[in-house]
Amino acid sequence: MTITQPRHLLDGSHRRMFIGGAWVEAASGETFETRNPATGTVIATVPRAGKKDIERAVAAARNAFDGPWSRFKPHERQKLLLKVADLFERHWEEICVSDTTDMGLPIARARGNANRVLGMLRYYAGMATALHGQTIDNSLSGDIISYTRKEPIGVVGAIIPWNAPTAASVWKIGPALATGCTVVLKPSEEAPLTPLLIAELMAEAGVPDGVVNVVTGTGAEAGAPLAEHMGVDKIVFTGSTATGQSIVRASAGNLKRVSLELGGKSPVIVCADADLERAVPVAAMSVFANSGQICIAGSRLFVARSIHDEFVARLAAYAAGLRIGDGIDPETEIGPLISPRQLQRVEGYLRAGSEEGARLVAGGTRLSHGALAAGNFVAPTVFSGVTDTMRIAREEIFGPVISALPFDTLDEVVRRANDTPYGLAAGVFTRDLTTAHQLSRRLQAGSVWVNTYHAIDPAVPFGGYKMSGYGREGGAEHLDEYLNTKGVFIRID
């Protein structure tokens, strides 16, 4: 497939942020660089926004919410979202190249996300005309009719991570457009370019000025003021649990609505009767995809003791055979980590695994030979001999690292799998239908995949238990996160 150069040229030139339908600089005039994690080269500079810029963006979003956007009918919002989806489809290659160059996602994987992202937009378009309240029989005296209305919550502050700029942006903007809200989107400073491209496509589709605003900056300088802002009615955040906790605290000023999709340490359980030909590659890529930089990574691999050694050997061989390199190469299967800082973090966990007694059976090193020397590459890594108390089995690494742990009984593995502060996702491999249903019910996770992994559909809710957050993205529950429910009583006698 021909690779198309994005309209946001990735050549070190300067990009501006998008507020109130205009491309603007930060009030301070300051900028920062964003680099290709595979090569270390500067691909753009962007404004370094601060509190004044957040004030300007929130004001633009409020004006749009109170202005022309409030008069859009559901079918008009639907039509607009469908136009956005069509534009995304026409410019999909540009979007993919932007993601690959800015954050390292292999281009083949980026291209493969088309159905998911376009499906989201078209799903939200369909839901725009399906939002409604209820007529409710009440127990009041007299002739009183009662019903409910679903109304947009208002201005939404959306803060997204660097590991999935396109999908995360759509997961926030899509439901806002469907429900009639407006958005101030703050992308990660590590990967801000695709959200700016998305803003351009939104404007081209005819989204009114101020409905979608994209403000580039750091979490401390732009994200925190957005979370604290008294003019923001809702904050939606995807990222680390620690940052999610700070957002909850920041939201207390006006008790704004908050939904959070946070960290994970997801268990994958491979039963003795599993189909190993299917389970090995799926379990491997549940972690190695996007170099492990996935909140749902199945990094705790529980394998039935009777097949543990064979499974780990197969897993190590699979890891060793993966092609690692610059994601812009269509043959690349594993790209770089996002930054030198993330590389250092992952290397620290590799050392900790060995120091705490785990046995390294694959990978475990930074790759710095040839063309890989300038990038942030780590070999896909498998540890065996891991115990539940080791750091690599307890903490979210956000790197291509699998910890293999044997188990003997289903009761035991359920207890161990649930023994974590997180509850975002889980996987099960078995040919027994009873086992599949029992484990799916007993595992404390917002998503459970059986004989597959990473399956996400716009109509199915996604989110976490425990410290993996609250609220849902996807499904009718997602739209409710952007709506207020109003009760109305009318006496007619």
For the residues of 10-42, what is the DSSP string, one character each?
-SS-B--EEETTEEE--TT--EEEEE-TTT--E
Q: Are residues 253 and 278 in the same domain?
A: no
pTM of the entire predicted model? 0.95
- Coil vs helix vs strand at 370: helix
Q: Are residues 240 and 388 in the same domain?
A: no
The CATH number of the domain holding residue 244 is 3.40.605.10
Mean pLDDT for 142-165 is 96
Q: Are residues 272 and 257 in the same domain?
A: no
Whole-angstrom Cα distance, residue 448 to residue 455?
A: 10
pLDDT confidence of residue 27: 97
Q: Are residues 219 and 357 in the same domain?
A: no
Say how many domains are in the chain: 2
pLDDT (tens digit, 9 = 90+) per residue, 355-367? Answer: 999 999 999 999 9
CA atoms within 13 A of residue 492's CA, in its CB half-sphere:
7
Task: Answer yes or no: is 2 within a domain.
Answer: no
Task: Answer yes or no: is 3 within a domain.
Answer: no
Q: Are residues 194 and 232 in the same domain?
A: yes
263 pLDDT more than 50: yes
The H or E element that residue 47 is part of is: strand 42-47
pLDDT confidence of residue 83: 98
Q: Are residues 139 and 74 in the same domain?
A: yes
Q: Are residues 242 and 373 in the same domain?
A: no
pLDDT confidence of residue 493: 82
pLDDT confidence of residue 2: 47
Task: Answer yes or no: is 5 within a domain.
Answer: no
420 pLDDT more than 60: yes
The CATH number of the domain holding residue 286 is 3.40.309.10
Per the DSSP assignment, residues forming a β-bridge with 259 are 236
Q: Are residues 215 and 280 in the same domain?
A: no
Residues contacting residue 121 through CB under 8 Å, at least 6 positions apart? 81, 82, 84, 85, 88, 170, 174
pLDDT confidence of residue 291: 96
Q: Are residues 204 and 307 in the same domain?
A: no
4 pLDDT more than 80: no
Mean pLDDT for 20-36 is 97
The H or E element that residue 234 is part of is: strand 234-238
Q: Are residues 342 and 299 in the same domain?
A: yes
Question: Which pLDDT band, with edges at 50, 70 and 90, does 6 fall under?
Answer: low
Q: Are residues 205 and 310 in the same domain?
A: no
Give 420's DSSP letter: S
Active-site positions?
A: 261
42 pLDDT more than 90: yes
447 pLDDT more than 80: yes
Q: Are residues 227 and 293 in the same domain?
A: no
Give 6's DSSP letter: P
Percentage of residues in the chain having pLDDT higher than 70: 98
pLDDT confidence of residue 7: 59
- Coil vs helix vs strand at 301: strand
For the residues of 174-220, what is the DSSP string, one character each?
HHHHHHT-EEEEE--TTS-HHHHHHHHHHHHHTPPTTTEEE----II
484 pLDDT more than 80: yes
Residue 81 belongs to what domain range?
Answer: 17-262+468-489
157 pLDDT more than 60: yes
Task: Answer yes or no: is 193 within a domain.
Answer: yes
